[in-house]
Every structure is written in structure tokens, then in C-alpha cells.
Amino acid sequence: MTDLLIGQTLSFSGNPMTEGIAAARHSARGGLLIEGGKIAAVGEADDLRRAHPDARVTDYGDALISAGFVDAHAHYPQTAIIASWGKRLIDWLNAYTFPEEMRFSDPAHAAGIAARYFDLTLSMGTTTVCSYCTIHPESVDAFFTEAQRRGLRAYAGKTCMDRNAPDGLRDTPQSAHDDSRRLLQKWHGVDRLSYVITPRFSPTSTPEQLSALGALWAENPSCLMQTHLSEQTDEIAWVKSLYPSARDYLDTYEAHGLLGPGGLYGHAIHLEPRERDRLREVDASLIHCPTSNTFIGSGLFDMDGLSASGHRIGLATDTGGGSSFSMLRTMAAAYEIAQLRHRALHPAELWWLATEGAARALRADDRIGNLAPGMEADLVVIDLASTPAIAQRAARAGDIWEALFPTIMMGDDRAIRSVWIAGRPLPKTA
């Protein structure tokens, strides 16, 4: 069956961060044709209706149809401890994260949290996630099993740690390599699933473990690799004490084969000039996690400087260090952080970062993140008047950007009118 969706549409012909707002394309009465789980055509609603009179029509009126949100860095095992009070990064890990992650050796617990996590993210319009799991293979199986059941495009990997973690949350260089390799062979490329090689961060891996994972990545270059980089100043000092011969934090990865174009480096706030240059040279991805950066007090990401320099940047919730599952709230926090650095991000730039920009960071912008023919039909439909406060502000809007910005700043799950996965609407939101 061919579906025709009608409403306002928002797509991108390029990157508005570097090419200007003209790279964003809005239609007040647009449409998209869906066939076989993919977008077959995008255009004006009346034209598509005349060309495809037998298509099943879903008319969303003034609601905005967009590519679904893409969350490029999350920790699904931290779902139950989101919004835990009052710690810096290292204390937060020890007080909240590590005790919770211990529970994921139990397959039933992992499966329950995975189901809850996807219920929450889909309710917020997020259609693709890249997540850390725990050291337990069971946590990876649970995540991918649930994502596969729902037909999602999803990314994840076993988190590897062989030091500076509690008993029960440490593996070894060999077991990290072997477990990751088995999980990669089991899940990578199955349906819409992708395995991601996942050293947590340099302080919790010995040089031997980083080298083992670097070797695994070299053997499997189609995989992404995710880790953390320069999130807090005390973390950077810790890294220097653990790796005294390293030139900088990034060098702890580079020296062990963990720097490359498929690398996803979460946070990247306090970068040295050499680190910025090397990350740009290899075309690695920097993942901005604004609600986490403010919640844990990490610092202010240099969105303007890094994007102007040509870095590949994605946006992410970083739940549960991040304080919301919502990419709308994440966009709002990105705007607020940029304002503190004297840059007002345009609504088109924010929306791009949460859709095509995050997909580009995952090297998946040829499949998800935009409304264009041939793209997978993972979609979100946004009510631009979802609450009285938003409605009264949007009513005064002079253009689409003034109408959209109140939802970015004040929207929540009530703004999510419908979510489509691979060309099918989710029953609870359709």
C-alpha cells in the first residue's frame, strides 16, 4: 500500500550550520509518498495527490512532518537513574551509574529496561538511538532484541572497562575483544541494527584493552566506535595521571588505534588545539550532549567554533547523565549553551542537528535524518500548538521559524502527534 502524508514539511538540501538557513526547505502544505518503508517522493501535497490518486491519505493539517529525531549518544542502562541528584562526573558514576549497571547481568532486568527505554524515546519522537550498554553481553542482546522487535534502526555496543570500576563491572583486554567480536558477528548488519565498538573512556580501560579494541575496529571498519572525550576538567587531569606519556586526552585513543572517521567522541568540551585539528583531519564525529553538560556541570561546548572549522557534529541526550529523553529539550539546551557563548542558534540549525546532523555523525545520513526520496520512512509529526503556552506564542508567528521555536523551547511529549517507523505509524501515536 502507498501512503501519502500531508501537512507542513521540513527538509534539508544541505547543512544550515555552514550553508545558511536557505539549506532548510519548508512547505506550508507539503506531502510525502511512502512505499515499501521508504520515502518515494516529497513535494507539494496537491501535486502528489493528483499524481497518486490511489494512495491512502493521512492529512495532518497544520502539523509539521519531519524526519524522526536521531539521538547520537545515550546510555540506555541509566534509564532508571535519570535525574539523580548532585554529583560531578566521577562521583556520579560511582554513586549511581555503576551500581545500576551491575544489575544488567540479569537478562530479565536488561530486557525490561530496554523495553521501557524505547517506550520513552519513541514517545518523544526519537526514531534512532546510538547507545552504550554495560559490560554484560546480556545488555547488548536485550537492546538489540527490543530494537529489532520494533523495526528500529539502532546502534549499540558492549561497554568495555578493565580498571577503575567495581568488581562485577570489569572485563579484561581479551574478554572485551572476544565478547565484542561475538556480539558484532551476531548483530551487526542484521535488519536495521549496527554494532558499535565501545570503550567507555580512557580512565576505565588499560592501554592493553584500548589496543585490543583498536585492533578489533581495524578488523571491522564498517563498525562505528564510540567513547567519551574531554567532558570535565577533573576527568582530563585524571587521564593525564593515568597516561603520563600521552600528548593529550585524544592521544590516549589515537595511540591505540581508536581515532578514525567512524569514531564518535561524546562531549568534546575542553579540547586542546591539537585535538581539534586531529579530529577534523580524520573527519571524526563530535557528539554534543547539552542537558548532560549543564546537569553535571561539565562546561560549554563550542558549537560555533567547531562547526565553523568543519567538524562533524551530532546532538544527543546522553541519558541518564542527560536530564531528558526528549530531543526537543536537548535542542533547547543546545540553544541555551550557545547563547552563553554569544551565538544564537537558528531553529533550522537546531532541527538539523537533531535529525540530519546526528544521522551524519552516525554515517547514516544516506538512510535517515531527512525527508528525501530513497530515505527510510522514520518520521515524527509535530503539533506546533501542543500546549496553551506554545499555542498562544505560535499564533503570533510571522514564519515557520517563529512558529517552530516555541515548540523547541517549551515542547515535550505532548507535541509528538505521530511517529512512523519504516513507513508504518506506531499505534499509540497514530
- Is the CATH number of domain 69-361 3.40.630.30? no
Region 357-384 average pLDDT = 98
pLDDT in tens, 42-61: 999 999 999 999 999 999 99
Instruction: Calculate the alpha carbon distances from 408 to 340, 350, 384 in Å.
Output: 18, 8, 10
CA of residue 309 relative to chain centroid, distance: 22
The answer to whether 362 and 224 have CB atoms below 8 angstroms apart is yes
Domains 3-67+370-425 and 69-361 share a fold: no
The CATH code of the domain at 3-67+370-425 is 2.30.40.10
Indicate whether 73 pLDDT > 80: yes
pLDDT in tens, 74-119: 999 999 888 888 777 778 788 888 888 989 999 999 999 999 999 9
- Tell whether pTM > 0.95: yes
In sequence order, what are the beta bridge partners of 268? none
pLDDT in tens, 175-216: 999 999 999 999 999 999 999 999 999 999 999 999 999 999
pLDDT for 180 equals: 98
The answer to whether 354 and 324 have CB atoms below 8 angstroms apart is no
What is the domain partition of the chain in residue ranges?
3-67+370-425, 69-361
pLDDT for 428 equals: 61
pLDDT in tens, 123-159: 999 999 999 999 999 999 999 999 999 999 999 999 9
Non-local CB neighbours of 112 within 8 Å, separated by 6+ positions: none
Indicate whether 429 pLDDT > 60: no
